[in-house]
Chains A and B, each alone.
Chain A
Amino acid sequence: MPDTIIPASNGLSQPLHWPAEGATRVPFRVYHDPEILKLEHERIFRGPVWNYLCMEIEIPEKGDFKTTFVGEIPVIVTRNRDGQVHAMVNRCAHKGALVCMQERGNKQRLTCVYHSWNYDLTGQLRGVAFQNGLRGAGGMPEDFDLKNHRLEPLRVAVLHGMVFGTFSDETPPIEEYLGEMVCNIMKRNFSRPHKIIGYHSQIIHNNWKLYAENVRDSYHATLLHTFYTTFKINRLDMDGGMILADPIPWHSLSYAKRATIQEDEGYKEIHSAQFDENALQGPELLNSFHEFDDNITHMIQSNFPNLTFQFTLNSLAVRHFVPKGPGKTELHWYYIGYEDDTPEQEEMRINQGNLTGSAGYVSLEDGCINEFVQRGSHGSEDANEFLEMGGKTAETSEGSRATETSIRGFWTGYRQIMGFDQ
């Protein structure tokens, strides 16, 4: 079978060669080429996907707003006077200035500071300064109609406290887009009243898709993040698996059950697992409590395009990774507790916050490892990644997590939505 050659059109000035092996190969050019990021905005972020916007608990009251990004597009999410959640591009219909500068707040109207064009919380234009001019001169032409101007809207869907938005009319209903597996996981983790207990962001110097791969890569997790393996928080010799969404395998779940470890000799060969497991002088760091009857103690659940939910021991987090140009990404870490947590349970979640985030014992390496790929592949944009661990297909792997199946699933979906598969 010949390579797929995506012709120089549709915004690409050079044809893109995708090897005939398909989702087991990825041309490094997709991480570097600004034209591809531009095309991703057209076909993914403005395309038929549900983009994560925020959590409902960030905008609990009428008039609350929160700003975020869909791809690089600035977006405002509001709760209107009727309690409904709305989302719109944060770009004034007049000159294109940001309408909301703050991260969050509460307002009756959204007013652009440039020329005082003001909008209601659904994004509809309600007033324009000097519409009728001053002293009988100036002002808008007679055919100017407020009703014809608004902030560009997104369709919104709210599921288990998570707010999603889409620009496309083609996007299927949220439950269908995410699929049964993702909906069940979200219900498990977020249907109880919850609260934000921590937040920061991490600037990683790599393309957003390298992080999308990274969170789907259960193969690396126990090799690079040696703290995981040494303290038996997550190892591939525990019961666990990878579940991929159906029919498009672009969302996935990796899970493990800590109580089921059967130590495999393979780990003795691993350079990294050399930390004496009894070496923790503050072992209370790993104090945890049983929360779910499914006995899953570690899960990373990733959704196309750029959202991951993490539940490691009792540390629940939302990771939203937002592109900032082809070679830079802002990774937002939102840590979640439940409203009915006891002080002891909250203390355990706070302690376990040391595991992940930009200073996390089991995650700080991801701050640089994706950058190593970005830097390592500079000038080799026609070369390809090789992704055949665990086979060549993208399907659920119940027995083993020594596999790149979930990464192949991401690229299967990516190639389809980008039109890079034919």
Chain B
Amino acid sequence: MHYETDRGPVKAVDGVSFTVNRGERFGMVGESGCGKSTIAMTILQLLRDPARIVTGRILFDGVDLLRLSERDLRRLRWRSISLVPQGAMNALNPVARVRDQIGDAIVVHDSEVSPRLLSERIVDLLSAVGLPERTAELFPHELSGGMKQRVCIAMAIALNPRLIIADEPTSALDVVVQRVVAQTLSEAVERLGASLILIGHDMGLQAQLVDRLVVMYAGRVAEIGSVREIFKAPTHPYTQMLIASLPSLRERRRLRTIPGLPPALLDAPPGCLFHPRCRHAGQVCSRVVPELRSVNGSAHVAACHLFEEIAGR
């Protein structure tokens, strides 16, 4: 996915491939600007100019979403793939009751539903996200941040989708509220038997919630592995530094920092995009773009020329 600009294309997402299995909770992490949210918008094809999908395929149950008509896409969005967008709770309509907001999300995609069934469905959805029935009659300003975010989750699961994409669903919430909302989301996904793509930069939250995750760097995949592989045996130097920069509660130590900044994508360096910040970088790193390679023949993959050597050091 490129953004066309006067100064040439910005490769916001460049050659990214990953698979999300049925019923799996899949995390997507990386610094701001690494392409996480862009991937979500690409899957749903909610991109606007100057964004352009250049090549690739997005297979959902074997169907390439990039070849569907806008009409078919519209049927698929929300019914099959739903989104909890970033800052969703601030996007609730301030002058509509919770009942009507959830109701609209259902009616737009399923106009046949009877008013009585709709009412029952709304109450069911609210209880699925742990909100009392009376919440339906309230306006967004009468809800706390955690309650608003749960309403957004209720809307996302309203049509029993098979995939839910949640973009930073708990940012700007207090730690206890964050925990409640995260667990609500996780349980809702499990009850539906749906898959989840959890986008966020909070590594702690990912460790708590997902089964597998992809680490993105500057629009490319750095590493994909199970949550244990990524946290216990990070292989790409970027993932290693990211893990080392996290504060722990076990020991007090100076946090490792990652020197330098992510590259400007208009003026990206040749070879591995991380090499200017990597302390292991060798000559090959500044010349050749690394492919994703398997770590020890497993499904754990990393895009680094030197990971065997680094592990041996």
Q: Do A and B bind each other?
A: no
Query: Which B residues are within 8 Å of any A CB, using their own CB?
Result: none
